Amino acid sequence: MAYYLSPRFLDKLAVHITKNYLKLPQVKIPLLLGVHGRKGEGKTFQCELVYDRMGIEVVHISGGELESPDAGDPARLIRLRYREAAELVRVRGKMAVLMINDIDAGAGRFDALTQYTVNTQLVNNTLMNIADNPTNVQLPGSYDENEIQRVPIIMTGNDLSTLYAPLIRDGRMDKFYWQPDRSDRIGIVGGIFAPDGLSSQDVTRLVDTFPTQAIDFFGAVRAQIYNEQIRDFIYDVGLENVSRSVVNTTTPPSFRQPDFSLSHLLEVGHRLVGEQRRVNDMRLANEYNRVLSQGGHPSNSDSGPFYRAYQPDESTTSAPPSGNSETPTSPTPHSPTPSTLSPEVRDQIDAILSQGYRLGIEHVDQRRFQTNAWRSGPPLPNETVATASAALERCLGDYAHDYVRLIGIDPTTKQRVMEKIIQRPQR
């Protein structure tokens, strides 16, 4: 299948990769190239097409590999994979690249509550060190005096602004924002439907009907076309026989050419758009978070209880004795201890908010405290000291048996400006 490769994309990657294998006099060449843009626009796939066209060997790292329970493992992995790519150049005599997919998902700071771990810090430092010394990349515990081959590093991500600012500075990283224009979209979608005999006019009509959709939307439309035949197959063989018909069978099922008419594609496309709209309209996460931010009490929600109510048994609740105007209250299991914050903590909240920073908390139980595996707590209001203090008191009660630390976040740089443990579990 002849997929479409954008000339702009090919030009950017080809120049960056080739430039890193040349010795240009007195020219500072960035080792890193960050390809960023909207989700689903085919950044990784376009990279793979460039590698295939240029005959380049690729060593991959996923953004999910940039975190580990063992501190230092991701940084060691980056060095190991980089040296592996350099060895491919020496052994096979071909250009190679190290590609890190979804770098922002593994090392980015998306909001004030994104956890910043030792591994995140080491990954940033390791990438900066390799960018500054690309021919002298050592593994921990060993040293090799011989220089290795310089290998360009290609990174993909949605938002490079979430990364550590010194890592993405111009001397280390060249940036390329990938946003396919109309001609690119028509070319890419035409490649997706090339085996199905869709005419260029129909491809153009399909693209123009959904101008705001990402490229992967059209791939999803094509996949949805097969659902009708697969549904018929399931009920033809019977639900109880599906497994034996598709797993370890010598005669896998075959399907006829589906209906790839433009009208059918538009129908499926509008159906997918409707599902997208339902997801955006529901926004159940807002409902969850609103309940959590109000102390976990569904009755405080404006729209009524969201969670299914599990009320205590009426037989176990004591009614106030007659003639007594005061209603007895029993202590709740989540009453904050102590009931008020110390003046020192209140002063810290005041100092953080007065400087325009944001508040957050993290908590950890006694066992995970030894491994520094902190977990983010619910968001704190940042309007006034009083509201923030009240919310923090509730959180201290909810996590009465955990270590709790208060953090201050600079919303501009997404960096922490303060960390202080304000509660230790009672022993």
3-state helix, strand, coil in the chain (%, to 5): 45, 10, 40
Calpha distance 377→398 (Å, rounded)? 10
Tell me the helices (H) and strands (E) count for the chain, helix number first: 15, 9
Q: How confident is the model at residue 116 (pLDDT cuts 50, 70, 90)?
A: confident
Q: How many CB atoms lie within 10 A of CB 29?
A: 16
User: Nearest CA to 5 among 16, 196, 205, 14?
Assistant: 14
Rounded mean pLDDT, 62-72: 88
Residue with tokens 């209140």, as numbered in its chain: 346
Q: Which of 207-221, 289-303, 352-366, 386-400 has the highest mean pLDDT?
A: 207-221
User: Nearest CA to 166 among 126, 196, 202?
Assistant: 126
Calpha distance 368→328 (Å, rounded)? 39
Residue 228 burial by Cβ neighbours in a 10 Å radius (0-12, 13-18, 19+): middle
Rounded mean pLDDT, 23-49: 93
pLDDT tens per residue, range 328-358? 444 444 443 444 688 888 888 888 888 888 8
Specify the DSSP element, H or E, that contains 126. Answer: helix 118-132
Domains, the chain, with CATH or none: 7-177 (3.40.50.300), 182-247+257-282 (1.10.8.1070), 343-423 (3.30.190.10)
Min mean pLDDT across 40-44, 142-146, 253-257, 280-284 is at 280-284
pLDDT given for residue 332 in this prediction: 45
